[in-house]
Amino acid sequence: MSSLQALQDLVHEKYGIEASALDPNESMREKGFDSLALVEFIFAVEDHFSIRLPDDDPNLDTLAQLAVLVDKTLAAKAAQPAKAGDAAQAAPVEIQQTAHSAPSAPSA
């Protein structure tokens, strides 16, 4: 599933630009996004999807490119094994009981 529609919705929410007016393959800079707006939008995308995008992608210029990067990041996140703390909370704990003889009561 592509994140493109969610990204278009996020652009609309933050900047009031209708999804129908956004060509996913058009440069975001040509649509009026300056470098500060792009950085702020990337932060919003990270918050929206609960992900961390790499900082070093100079080719990130269109919504389509951003959608590909978000999709890859989400897929990598889903493929990672759960953290030990997460697994401990999610998995039921099985307790095994061993048979012990009860201590005898002191004789009177």
Question: What was the pLDDT predicted at 84?
Answer: 53
Question: What is the phi/psi pair of residue 2, to 5°?
Answer: -85, 145
Q: Is the whole model's pTM more than 0.85, yes or no?
A: no
**Residue extents of the structural domains in the chain:** 4-81
CATH number corresponding to 4-81: 1.10.1200.10
Question: What was the pLDDT predicted at 44?
Answer: 95
Q: Whole-angstrom Cα distance, residue 69 to residue 67? A: 5
Give the pLDDT means over successive 10-residue stretches in the chain (108 positions). 90 90 91 88 95 81 93 92 55 43 51
